[in-house]
Amino acid sequence: MVTSMTGFGRGEASSGARHISVELRSVNNRFLEIAIRLPRSLSLRENDCKDLLRKQITRGKINATVTVDRGTDTGTDVRLNADAAKAYYKLLRDLKKTLKLKEQVKIEHMLHFAEIFQQDGEGGSDEIEWEMTQKALAAAVADLLSMRQQEGRELEKDFRTRIAMISDRLDEIERLAKEQVPRERERMKERITQIIESGKVDEGRLELEVALLADRLDVTEECVRFRSHNKFFLEALTSADSPGRRLNFLIQEMNREANTIGSKSSAQEIAHIVVGIKEELEKIREQIQNIE
Residues 18 and 142 in one domain: yes
Q: pLDDT tens for residues 227-240?
A: 999 999 999 998 86
Among 95, 117, 139, the domain-final residue is 117
Residue 133: which domain range? 7-74+122-148
49 vs 217, more confident: 49
Asked if residue 2 is part of any domain, the answer here is: no
Residues 231 and 179 in one domain: yes
Q: What are phi and psi of 93, to 5 degrees?
A: -65, -40
Task: Examine the fold and report which residue of 97, 117, 137 is the final residue of a domain before the chain moves on.
Answer: 117
Task: Count Cβ atoms below 10 Å from residue 115 Cβ, excluding itself.
Answer: 11
Q: What is the pLDDT of residue 192?
A: 67
> Is the entire prediction scored with pTM above 0.75?
no
Do 28 and 40 fall into the same domain?
yes
Is 241 part of any domain?
A: yes
**Rounded to an integer, what distance in angstroms lies between the CA atom of residue 195 and that of residue 206?**
10
**Domains: count for the chain:** 3
Residues 184 and 160 in one domain: yes
The model's pLDDT over 101-146, given as tens digits with 9 standing for 90+, comes to: 888 888 888 888 877 876 654 444 578 889 999 999 999 999 999 9
pLDDT in tens, 143-176: 999 999 999 999 999 999 999 999 999 999 988 8
